[in-house]
């Protein structure tokens, strides 16, 4: 008896037209012989809350590898941002180069300030990275810049001018 070979299983993730949710399905066959094996809602929609969920899910994966959010921000930020954007394609990259000149400096509160190189996620006017899964309104409010830029050495009075407490 000759066994019939089964066609490979295809993994498909697409957005539901009416509900706006992402649907993950596993299908076998093609055309009229196509059969859906399993279908489930992935749960991602076009909202900032869903982007935060994607970031937190990815942080769990990195945490299992022993990588903290601070470690990701200081060494694997580009890889992390790329993985988030793969899972949530409505977002886009943000980089220090987008906001600084060639010398990695920007004018903040009338002063030229140096910033470390960093890659993060931008979505609907907010800025997200591994340390800020819920986002911040201004790019220089990301924790890496609070910690490692020249802004960290400003006096409390100068920090108050830009809204840092």
Who wins on pLDDT, 44 or 48?
48
Query: Does any domain span residue 3?
Result: no
Query: Does any domain span residue 110?
Result: yes
Query: Does any domain span residue 61?
Result: yes
CA–CA dist 89, 92 (Å, integer): 7
Please check whether residues 18 and 67 belong to one and the same domain: no
Average pLDDT estimate for 41-58: 77
Instruction: Give burial (CB, 10 Å; 0-12/13-18/19+) of 51.
Output: buried
CA–CA dist 13, 56 (Å, integer): 20
Please check whether residues 29 and 106 belong to one and the same domain: no
Residue-wise pLDDT tens digits, 101-130: 766 788 888 888 888 889 999 999 999 999
Who wins on pLDDT, 101 or 53?
53
Domain that holds residue 15: 9-41
CA–CA dist 158, 155 (Å, integer): 5
SS3 77: helix
């Amino acid at each position: 008896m000759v066994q019939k070979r089964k066609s490979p299983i295809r993994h498909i993730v697409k957005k539901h037209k009416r509900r706006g949710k992402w649907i993950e399905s596993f299908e076998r066959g093609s055309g009229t012989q196509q059969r859906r094996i399993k279908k489930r809602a992935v749960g991602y929609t076009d909202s900032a809350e869903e982007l935060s969920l994607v970031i937190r899910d990815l942080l769990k994966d990195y945490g299992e590898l022993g990588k903290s959010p601070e470690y990701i921000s200081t060494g694997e930020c580009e890889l992390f941002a790329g993985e988030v954007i793969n899972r949530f394609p409505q977002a886009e990259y943000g980089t220090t180069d987008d906001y600084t000149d060639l010398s990695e400096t920007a004018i903040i509160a009338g002063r030229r300030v140096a910033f470390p190189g960093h890659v993060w996620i931008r979505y609907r006017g907010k800025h997200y990275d591994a340390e800020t899964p819920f986002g911040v309104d201004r790019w220089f409010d990301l924790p890496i810049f609070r910690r490692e830029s020249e802004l960290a050495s400003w006096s409390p009075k100068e920090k108050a001018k830009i809204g840092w407490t």
